[in-house]
Amino acid sequence: VECQHRTKKGRRPRQWPERRQSLRAKDGRRSARERKGRKRLCEETELARRSVMTLSKSQTEQCAALLGETEIFGRVGTQELRSLAQAMQPGRYEHNETVLVRGQPSDRMLVLVEGELKRTRVKHDGVEHVVDYALHPKTYNSMHVVAGDPVYADVKCVSEHCTTFEMHRDVLLRLLNETPGLSSAMIAGLSYHLRHSTRKIATPLLEQHPRELNVPAVTIAAAIESYYRSALNALLNARLTGVRAELFPNMHVQVPIRVLYINGFKGLRSLIERTVQPDEFANPTAVRLAAAVAPGVAMTPVSSILEACNAGHRNPEPLHTRWIRGALPRGLREIIFGIGLNQLSDYFEERLLPVCNNNTVVANAAGSLTAGVISGYLSHVPHNLSTYKLMEPGRSYASLYQMFVDKSVPPIIDNAVQEWSPLLRNFTRAAFATFFPRGVSIRTAQIVGSFMILNGTITFLQRMEEKKIEQAVSGAAAATS
């Protein structure tokens, strides 16, 4: 009726204010009914879609198994896992399709079945970063869906296609309300994985404990390593003195002495571990330091005999006299070698084990390599001084150190400091020779190889023996049963 009373210009005729207010109220009620109807239609459509997109029996079993492997549902019982799986829906995404959008409310969680999903987040610097978690979860958005927090990172399918099982937030909340034990099991699972992911073994350097001593394994490892050490030592002496010598001189003396030397380091460490209790003393740190230093001091005479076997071409003294030359710096070198072989190798192996995916063989090699690099660098200057003293016993340590500096400083450094004051020039040359000594790469390679051969061979042989014992015990148990 109102439309029939328009003016010629198509406009509504003037109405009384009461009439205009009633029309506005009617329009508002009509809009509210329309919005409510649209919302009801969306809910019915969503419910219909959920009723159609249900999992088959095989998919339900697969989903329950996958949920049991996740961190959040790892402690949930079998029946509860099956109830959760029955409430989930299948999902499929194509390559480069966005699965979750950062900042949007968390309305569902996902379990990845097949494919690869990638999390990315643009930080405040405007650069996109890949997001990873220490837990390495198989679920996506599971930590935000209960509270409905905004999605933390964009999730995108980066494989050819991605298949998921999905659960909406309202369904999960309903299951949590209907199953009281479900929430406590979820909390228990998260607590376990939180402890597991944040726990680390970090024994201090001087508190490292040795493995049980296996003398045959140490003997075999030392015999193999003696040839490697002899060859590298001959190369290093040639580098320092300019005179080439045999790679394997007096091996009938070197091999048994090296076996005694390495067994001494390992045996003394085990003996001190059994007999000395540092916590019973007033200063346990000092006792632990003395215990770490003691094997190197005790093995210095044995090492001196080994060094003397490689110096016969320069020092004509008999072996029983030649071995005492350079004993003081050699003792310092042996202390560094002993701590590196025993405590430092175990220290780095312990810390590198998580990095190596708990592969003990790789961690042992990596720990020995790292400890060898540090020990080789720190022991190089004492080794050079002991070698020079062994080669030229008539010269003092001061003149030998000056010879070491002259041979270590390259001409480019000498040209750069030649116009400096004598005091500053001498200090600079001595510092360069000390921090960048000549032959340090050969010495470091020698120590790294020795540590890896010794620790690797000992660990391998010990494991072989442990496996034999385990097989024998399991075989005896099977025979009795």
- Per-residue b/e over 128-166, b at no fewer than 16 CB within 10 Å? eeeeeeebebbbbbbbbbbeeeebbbbbbbeeeebebbb
For the record, the structure tokens of 94 come out as: 């194509």
% of the chain surpassing 70 pLDDT: 87
Phi (first) and psi of residue 190, to 5 degrees:
-65, -40
| Maximum pairwise Cα distance, the chain | 133
Q: Which helix (H) or strand (E) holds 109?
A: strand 108-114
- Residue-level pLDDT at 41: 52
Q: In this model, does residue 12 exceed pLDDT 60?
A: no
Residues 6+ apart with CB under 8 A from 223: 255, 258, 259
Mean pLDDT of the chain: 84
- pTM (predicted TM-score): 0.67
Distance (Å, whole) CA 75 – CA 82: 13
For 15-44, write each residue's pLDDT tens digit: 445 555 555 555 555 565 666 555 555 544
Q: In this model, does residue 421 exceed pLDDT 50?
A: yes
CB 68 within 8 A of CB 76: yes
- Per-residue b/e over 275-284, b at no fewer than 16 CB within 10 Å? eeebeeeeee
Q: In this model, does residue 111 exceed pLDDT 80?
A: yes
- Residue-level pLDDT at 273: 92
- Residue-level pLDDT at 5: 45
Give the CA angle between residues 212, 269, 453 to the nearest 5°.
70
Q: In this model, does residue 49 exceed pLDDT 70?
A: no
Distance (Å, whole) CA 216 – CA 311: 30
Query: Lowest mean pLDDT: which of 84-88, 243-247, 344-348, 410-414?
Result: 243-247
Q: In this model, does residue 47 exceed pLDDT 50?
A: no
The candidate with the shortest Cα–Cα distance to 451, out of 179, 229, 240, is: 229
Q: In this model, does residue 404 exceed pLDDT 50?
A: yes
The amino acid occupying position 168 is H
For 71-91, write each residue's pLDDT tens digit: 888 889 888 899 899 999 999
Query: Lowest mean pLDDT: which of 268-272, 345-349, 477-481?
Result: 477-481
The amino acid occupying position 249 is P
- Residue-level pLDDT at 481: 66
More confident residue, 434 or 306: 434
For 309-344, write each residue's pLDDT tens digit: 767 777 888 888 888 899 999 999 999 999 999 999
Directed axis angle between helix 380-391 and helix 327-339, to 10°?
Answer: 150
Q: In this model, does residue 56 exceed pLDDT 70?
A: yes
How many CB atoms sit inside 10 A of residue 32's CB?
A: 10
Q: What is the mean pLDDT of residues 380-389?
A: 89
pLDDT winner (highest mean) among 32-36, 243-247, 455-459: 455-459
Confidence of residue 168 (pLDDT cuts 50, 70, 90): very high
Distance (Å, whole) CA 473 – CA 481: 12
Confidence of residue 57 (pLDDT cuts 50, 70, 90): confident
Q: In this model, does residue 11 exceed pLDDT 90?
A: no
Q: In this model, does residue 405 exceed pLDDT 90?
A: yes
For the record, the structure tokens of 292 come out as: 């770490």
Phi (first) and psi of residue 133, to 5 degrees:
-125, 150
Q: What is the DSSP letter of 206?
A: G
pLDDT winner (highest mean) among 7-11, 135-139, 158-162: 158-162
For 184-218, write each residue's pLDDT tens digit: 888 888 888 778 777 778 899 999 999 888 899 99
299: alpha, beta or left? (left if phi > 0; alpha if psi -120 to 50): alpha
Query: Lowest mean pLDDT: which of 163-167, 242-246, 345-349, 434-438?
Result: 242-246
